Structure 1
Amino acid sequence: TIIYGLFAFVLGGGLLFGRSFIAVLFDQMFNLTPQGWRILTLRWALFFFAMAILNEIIWRTQSTDFWVGFKAFGVIPLTMAFAVIQMPLIKRFHLEPVSLQASDASEGDLGKG
Protein backbone atom coordinates (compact mmCIF):
# COMPACT_ATOMS: atom_id res chain seq x y z
CA THR A 1 0.00 0.00 0.00
CA ILE A 2 2.79 2.39 0.88
CA ILE A 3 4.63 1.72 -2.39
CA TYR A 4 1.48 2.11 -4.50
CA GLY A 5 0.61 5.28 -2.62
CA LEU A 6 4.13 6.62 -3.07
CA PHE A 7 4.04 5.99 -6.82
CA ALA A 8 0.63 7.69 -7.08
CA PHE A 9 1.86 10.63 -4.99
CA VAL A 10 5.07 11.12 -6.99
CA LEU A 11 3.36 10.82 -10.38
CA GLY A 12 0.40 12.99 -9.39
CA GLY A 13 2.60 15.51 -7.58
CA GLY A 14 4.86 15.78 -10.60
CA LEU A 15 1.84 16.64 -12.74
CA LEU A 16 0.90 19.44 -10.34
CA PHE A 17 4.33 20.95 -10.99
CA GLY A 18 4.15 20.37 -14.74
CA ARG A 19 6.46 17.34 -14.77
CA SER A 20 5.77 13.91 -16.18
CA PHE A 21 8.08 11.49 -14.43
CA ILE A 22 6.89 8.68 -16.68
CA ALA A 23 8.22 10.70 -19.62
CA VAL A 24 11.62 10.82 -17.94
CA LEU A 25 11.63 7.03 -17.53
CA PHE A 26 10.15 6.01 -20.87
CA ASP A 27 11.22 8.81 -23.21
CA GLN A 28 13.60 6.49 -25.07
CA MET A 29 10.87 3.87 -25.53
CA PHE A 30 7.91 6.05 -26.52
CA ASN A 31 7.93 9.37 -28.35
CA LEU A 32 4.72 11.10 -27.25
CA THR A 33 3.37 14.62 -27.34
CA PRO A 34 3.43 16.55 -24.05
CA GLN A 35 -0.34 16.07 -23.75
CA GLY A 36 0.09 12.33 -24.28
CA TRP A 37 2.68 12.16 -21.48
CA ARG A 38 0.37 14.11 -19.14
CA ILE A 39 -2.59 11.83 -19.82
CA LEU A 40 -0.47 8.68 -19.49
CA THR A 41 1.06 9.92 -16.24
CA LEU A 42 -2.35 10.79 -14.81
CA ARG A 43 -3.70 7.37 -15.71
CA TRP A 44 -0.77 5.59 -14.04
CA ALA A 45 -1.09 7.79 -10.95
CA LEU A 46 -4.78 6.89 -10.70
CA PHE A 47 -3.97 3.21 -11.30
CA PHE A 48 -1.46 3.14 -8.44
CA PHE A 49 -3.91 5.00 -6.20
CA ALA A 50 -6.59 2.40 -7.01
CA MET A 51 -4.11 -0.42 -6.37
CA ALA A 52 -3.29 1.06 -2.96
CA ILE A 53 -7.00 1.11 -2.08
CA LEU A 54 -7.55 -2.42 -3.46
CA ASN A 55 -4.55 -3.71 -1.51
CA GLU A 56 -5.93 -2.22 1.72
CA ILE A 57 -9.38 -3.68 1.11
CA ILE A 58 -8.02 -7.16 0.42
CA TRP A 59 -5.54 -7.01 3.30
CA ARG A 60 -8.24 -5.98 5.79
CA THR A 61 -11.10 -8.21 4.60
CA GLN A 62 -9.46 -11.42 3.38
CA SER A 63 -7.25 -14.10 4.88
CA THR A 64 -3.49 -13.72 4.81
CA ASP A 65 -3.24 -16.59 2.35
CA PHE A 66 -5.65 -14.89 -0.04
CA TRP A 67 -3.78 -11.58 0.28
CA VAL A 68 -0.43 -13.27 -0.45
CA GLY A 69 -1.98 -15.00 -3.45
CA PHE A 70 -3.34 -11.68 -4.68
CA LYS A 71 0.08 -10.07 -4.30
CA ALA A 72 1.76 -12.97 -6.12
CA PHE A 73 -0.78 -13.75 -8.84
CA GLY A 74 -3.15 -10.78 -9.04
CA VAL A 75 -1.02 -7.65 -9.06
CA ILE A 76 1.15 -8.54 -12.06
CA PRO A 77 -1.76 -9.52 -14.35
CA LEU A 78 -3.66 -6.37 -13.34
CA THR A 79 -0.63 -4.20 -14.05
CA MET A 80 0.03 -5.90 -17.39
CA ALA A 81 -3.62 -5.58 -18.42
CA PHE A 82 -3.60 -1.90 -17.49
CA ALA A 83 -0.42 -1.34 -19.50
CA VAL A 84 -1.93 -3.04 -22.56
CA ILE A 85 -5.07 -0.93 -22.23
CA GLN A 86 -2.87 2.18 -22.51
CA MET A 87 -1.61 1.25 -26.00
CA PRO A 88 -4.38 3.11 -27.90
CA LEU A 89 -3.45 6.28 -26.01
CA ILE A 90 0.22 5.76 -26.82
CA LYS A 91 -0.61 5.25 -30.50
CA ARG A 92 -2.90 8.29 -30.58
CA PHE A 93 -0.28 10.67 -29.14
CA HIS A 94 2.77 9.09 -30.80
CA LEU A 95 5.16 11.46 -32.59
CA GLU A 96 6.98 10.15 -35.62
CA PRO A 97 10.73 10.66 -35.38
CA VAL A 98 12.25 13.25 -37.70
CA SER A 99 13.91 11.44 -40.58
CA LEU A 100 17.61 11.94 -41.21
CA GLN A 101 16.95 12.84 -44.86
CA ALA A 102 14.65 15.71 -43.87
CA SER A 103 17.23 16.88 -41.36
CA ASP A 104 20.06 16.73 -43.94
CA ALA A 105 17.99 18.57 -46.55
CA SER A 106 17.19 21.44 -44.18
CA GLU A 107 20.85 21.78 -43.19
CA GLY A 108 21.85 21.89 -46.87
CA ASP A 109 19.33 24.65 -47.51
CA LEU A 110 20.86 26.76 -44.74
CA GLY A 111 24.29 26.58 -46.30
CA LYS A 112 23.05 27.79 -49.72
CA GLY A 113 21.57 31.06 -48.48
Structure 2
Amino acid sequence: MTEKTEEQDGMRRLYATALELGPLVLFFAANGRWGIYWGTGIFIMATAIALPCYRWLEKRWPVMPLVGGFFVLVFGGLTIWLQDDTFIKLKPTIVNCLFGTILGGGLLLFRRPLLKPLFGTAFRLTDEGWRKLTLRWTLFFFVLAAVNEVMWRGFTTDTWIASKMFLSFPLTLVFAFLQVPLLKRYWDGADNPFARGS
Protein backbone atom coordinates (compact mmCIF):
# COMPACT_ATOMS: atom_id res chain seq x y z
CA MET A 1 0.00 0.00 0.00
CA THR A 2 1.46 3.37 -1.03
CA GLU A 3 1.79 6.31 1.33
CA LYS A 4 -0.90 8.21 -0.59
CA THR A 5 -3.31 5.25 -0.41
CA GLU A 6 -2.66 4.85 3.32
CA GLU A 7 -3.36 8.55 3.84
CA GLN A 8 -6.61 8.35 1.85
CA ASP A 9 -7.66 5.26 3.80
CA GLY A 10 -6.94 7.04 7.08
CA MET A 11 -8.96 10.09 6.03
CA ARG A 12 -11.88 7.88 4.95
CA ARG A 13 -11.87 6.16 8.33
CA LEU A 14 -11.76 9.56 10.04
CA TYR A 15 -14.78 10.78 8.04
CA ALA A 16 -16.64 7.52 8.77
CA THR A 17 -16.00 7.93 12.50
CA ALA A 18 -17.23 11.53 12.34
CA LEU A 19 -20.41 10.38 10.60
CA GLU A 20 -21.02 7.76 13.31
CA LEU A 21 -20.31 10.07 16.25
CA GLY A 22 -21.69 13.32 14.79
CA PRO A 23 -25.41 12.64 15.44
CA LEU A 24 -24.64 11.63 19.03
CA VAL A 25 -22.62 14.79 19.66
CA LEU A 26 -25.44 16.91 18.22
CA PHE A 27 -27.89 15.09 20.48
CA PHE A 28 -25.80 15.96 23.55
CA ALA A 29 -25.48 19.59 22.49
CA ALA A 30 -29.16 20.04 21.64
CA ASN A 31 -30.31 18.29 24.81
CA GLY A 32 -28.10 20.54 26.93
CA ARG A 33 -29.57 23.65 25.32
CA TRP A 34 -33.22 22.77 24.60
CA GLY A 35 -34.02 19.48 26.38
CA ILE A 36 -34.40 15.84 25.43
CA TYR A 37 -37.24 16.21 22.92
CA TRP A 38 -35.39 18.77 20.82
CA GLY A 39 -32.23 16.70 21.26
CA THR A 40 -34.04 13.59 20.04
CA GLY A 41 -35.45 15.41 17.00
CA ILE A 42 -32.00 16.67 16.01
CA PHE A 43 -30.59 13.19 16.64
CA ILE A 44 -33.13 11.74 14.19
CA MET A 45 -32.37 14.36 11.51
CA ALA A 46 -28.59 14.02 11.90
CA THR A 47 -28.82 10.23 11.69
CA ALA A 48 -31.00 10.42 8.57
CA ILE A 49 -28.36 12.65 6.94
CA ALA A 50 -25.32 10.69 8.17
CA LEU A 51 -26.37 7.27 6.87
CA PRO A 52 -26.56 8.20 3.14
CA CYS A 53 -23.28 10.12 3.55
CA TYR A 54 -21.71 6.98 5.00
CA ARG A 55 -23.08 4.98 2.04
CA TRP A 56 -21.53 7.46 -0.38
CA LEU A 57 -18.18 7.43 1.46
CA GLU A 58 -17.83 3.67 1.94
CA LYS A 59 -19.71 2.58 -1.22
CA ARG A 60 -21.81 0.24 0.94
CA TRP A 61 -24.48 0.39 3.59
CA PRO A 62 -22.85 0.00 7.03
CA VAL A 63 -24.71 -2.80 8.82
CA MET A 64 -24.33 -1.75 12.46
CA PRO A 65 -24.89 2.01 11.95
CA LEU A 66 -27.83 1.17 9.67
CA VAL A 67 -29.48 -1.01 12.32
CA GLY A 68 -28.75 1.59 15.01
CA GLY A 69 -30.12 4.32 12.75
CA PHE A 70 -33.35 2.38 12.19
CA PHE A 71 -33.91 2.18 15.96
CA VAL A 72 -33.07 5.88 16.35
CA LEU A 73 -35.79 6.72 13.82
CA VAL A 74 -38.37 4.38 15.37
CA PHE A 75 -37.72 5.00 19.08
CA GLY A 76 -36.87 8.65 18.58
CA GLY A 77 -40.07 9.11 16.61
CA LEU A 78 -42.08 7.45 19.39
CA THR A 79 -40.35 9.65 21.97
CA ILE A 80 -41.40 12.83 20.18
CA TRP A 81 -44.86 11.63 19.12
CA LEU A 82 -45.85 10.37 22.59
CA GLN A 83 -43.75 12.92 24.50
CA ASP A 84 -42.27 10.04 26.52
CA ASP A 85 -38.49 9.83 26.81
CA THR A 86 -38.64 6.17 27.91
CA PHE A 87 -38.45 5.10 24.26
CA ILE A 88 -35.17 6.86 23.48
CA LYS A 89 -33.73 5.61 26.78
CA LEU A 90 -34.64 2.02 25.88
CA LYS A 91 -33.07 2.27 22.44
CA PRO A 92 -29.43 1.54 23.51
CA THR A 93 -30.56 -1.47 25.57
CA ILE A 94 -32.52 -2.96 22.67
CA VAL A 95 -29.82 -2.29 20.05
CA ASN A 96 -27.00 -3.70 22.20
CA CYS A 97 -29.07 -6.78 23.13
CA LEU A 98 -29.91 -7.27 19.44
CA PHE A 99 -26.25 -7.11 18.40
CA GLY A 100 -25.24 -9.41 21.25
CA THR A 101 -27.98 -11.90 20.39
CA ILE A 102 -27.14 -11.94 16.68
CA LEU A 103 -23.40 -12.38 17.27
CA GLY A 104 -23.90 -14.95 20.02
CA GLY A 105 -26.54 -16.81 18.03
CA GLY A 106 -24.22 -17.00 15.03
CA LEU A 107 -21.55 -18.62 17.20
CA LEU A 108 -23.80 -20.98 19.16
CA LEU A 109 -26.26 -22.05 16.47
CA PHE A 110 -24.25 -21.88 13.26
CA ARG A 111 -20.63 -21.86 14.51
CA ARG A 112 -20.14 -18.72 12.46
CA PRO A 113 -18.31 -15.65 13.79
CA LEU A 114 -20.53 -12.96 12.28
CA LEU A 115 -17.98 -10.22 12.90
CA LYS A 116 -15.94 -11.65 10.02
CA PRO A 117 -18.32 -10.58 7.22
CA LEU A 118 -18.71 -7.19 8.92
CA PHE A 119 -15.03 -6.40 9.45
CA GLY A 120 -13.24 -8.90 7.22
CA THR A 121 -12.02 -6.13 4.94
CA ALA A 122 -10.40 -4.29 7.86
CA PHE A 123 -8.94 -7.25 9.75
CA ARG A 124 -7.52 -10.55 8.49
CA LEU A 125 -7.72 -12.99 11.37
CA THR A 126 -7.59 -16.75 11.67
CA ASP A 127 -10.89 -18.55 12.27
CA GLU A 128 -9.98 -18.96 15.95
CA GLY A 129 -9.26 -15.24 16.17
CA TRP A 130 -12.64 -14.35 14.67
CA ARG A 131 -14.41 -16.72 17.08
CA LYS A 132 -12.74 -15.23 20.13
CA LEU A 133 -13.24 -11.65 18.98
CA THR A 134 -16.92 -12.31 18.22
CA LEU A 135 -17.46 -13.92 21.64
CA ARG A 136 -15.84 -10.97 23.41
CA TRP A 137 -17.95 -8.41 21.54
CA THR A 138 -21.08 -10.50 22.17
CA LEU A 139 -20.51 -10.32 25.91
CA PHE A 140 -19.55 -6.65 25.76
CA PHE A 141 -22.78 -5.69 23.98
CA PHE A 142 -24.73 -7.23 26.85
CA VAL A 143 -22.56 -5.31 29.34
CA LEU A 144 -23.42 -2.06 27.52
CA ALA A 145 -27.11 -2.97 27.63
CA ALA A 146 -26.88 -3.60 31.39
CA VAL A 147 -25.06 -0.29 31.95
CA ASN A 148 -27.77 1.55 30.02
CA GLU A 149 -30.51 -0.12 32.06
CA VAL A 150 -28.85 0.84 35.36
CA MET A 151 -28.27 4.43 34.25
CA TRP A 152 -31.72 5.25 32.87
CA ARG A 153 -33.70 3.41 35.53
CA GLY A 154 -31.63 4.53 38.52
CA PHE A 155 -30.60 8.08 37.68
CA THR A 156 -31.93 11.33 36.25
CA THR A 157 -32.25 11.95 32.52
CA ASP A 158 -29.28 14.34 32.57
CA THR A 159 -27.12 11.72 34.32
CA TRP A 160 -28.23 9.07 31.82
CA ILE A 161 -27.28 11.34 28.91
CA ALA A 162 -23.91 12.15 30.52
CA SER A 163 -23.28 8.42 30.97
CA LYS A 164 -23.38 7.96 27.19
CA MET A 165 -20.37 10.27 26.77
CA PHE A 166 -18.49 9.68 30.00
CA LEU A 167 -19.19 6.00 30.69
CA SER A 168 -20.42 3.95 27.72
CA PHE A 169 -18.23 5.64 25.10
CA PRO A 170 -14.98 5.43 27.15
CA LEU A 171 -15.80 1.82 28.08
CA THR A 172 -16.15 0.99 24.38
CA LEU A 173 -12.84 2.66 23.51
CA VAL A 174 -11.01 0.86 26.34
CA PHE A 175 -12.59 -2.47 25.41
CA ALA A 176 -11.64 -2.04 21.73
CA PHE A 177 -8.07 -1.13 22.73
CA LEU A 178 -7.86 -4.25 24.92
CA GLN A 179 -8.54 -6.38 21.84
CA VAL A 180 -5.24 -5.36 20.21
CA PRO A 181 -3.28 -8.31 21.74
CA LEU A 182 -5.87 -10.70 20.29
CA LEU A 183 -5.63 -9.03 16.88
CA LYS A 184 -1.86 -9.21 17.04
CA ARG A 185 -1.85 -12.87 18.08
CA TYR A 186 -4.40 -14.15 15.56
CA TRP A 187 -3.55 -11.97 12.56
CA ASP A 188 -3.54 -14.10 9.43
CA GLY A 189 -0.50 -13.01 7.42
CA ALA A 190 2.94 -11.48 7.74
CA ASP A 191 1.75 -7.89 7.29
CA ASN A 192 0.38 -7.58 10.84
CA PRO A 193 -0.18 -3.82 11.45
CA PHE A 194 -0.55 -4.43 15.19
CA ALA A 195 2.93 -5.95 15.43
CA ARG A 196 4.71 -2.82 14.20
CA GLY A 197 7.03 -1.40 16.75
CA SER A 198 6.57 -4.37 19.11
TM-score range, shorter chain: 0.7 to 0.9
The sequence identity of aligned pairs, in percent, is 50
Aligned AA (2:118): L
The question of 1:11 aligning with 2:103 is answered: yes
Q: Is 1:88 paired with 2:173?
A: no
Match of 1:45 in 2: 138
CA distance in 1, matches of 2:168, 2:146: 13
Contact map agreement 2:129 2:186 (CA 8 A) in 1:
yes
Shift of 1:73: 3.4
Q: How far off is 1:74 after superposition?
A: 2.5
Q: Does 1:36 align with 2:129?
A: yes
User: How many residues end up aligned between the 2 structures?
Assistant: 98
Residues 20-55 of structure 1: CA deviation (Å, up to 9, x unaligned): 111111111111110110000000000001111111
Superposition TM-score, scaled by structure 2 size: 0.47
Distance 2:121 2:148 in 1: 31
What is the SS of the residue equivalent to 1:54? helix
Where does structure 1 differ by over 4 angstroms across 4 or more consecutive aligned residues? none
Match for residue 58 of structure 1?
151
Question: Is residue 25 from structure 1 mapped to residue 118 from structure 2 by the alignment?
Answer: yes
Whose Rg is larger? Answer: 1
**Residue in 2 aligned with 1:102?**
none
SS of the residue 2:112 aligns to: coil
Question: What is the CA–CA distance in structure 2 between the aligned matches of 1:3 and 1:54, rounded to whole Å?
Answer: 13
Structure 2 counterpart SS, 1:25: helix
Distance in structure 2 (CA, Å) of the matches to 1:20 and 1:92? 17
The structure that is helix-richer by fraction is 2
Could you say what secondary structure the match of 2:158 adopts? helix
Look up the equivalent residue of 1:10 and give its one-letter code: I
Deviation readout 1:69-109 (Å, 9 max, x if unpaired): 112332222111110100000100111169xxxxxxxxxxx
Q: Distance in 2 between matches of 1:77 and 1:50?
A: 13
TM-score (norm 1): 0.81
Where does residue 109 of structure 1 map in the other structure? none
1:77 to 155, 163, 170: 170
Aligned equivalents of 2:118, 2:190: Cα separation in 1: 18
Letter in 1 for 2:162: G
Report the aligned-residue RMSD.
1.4
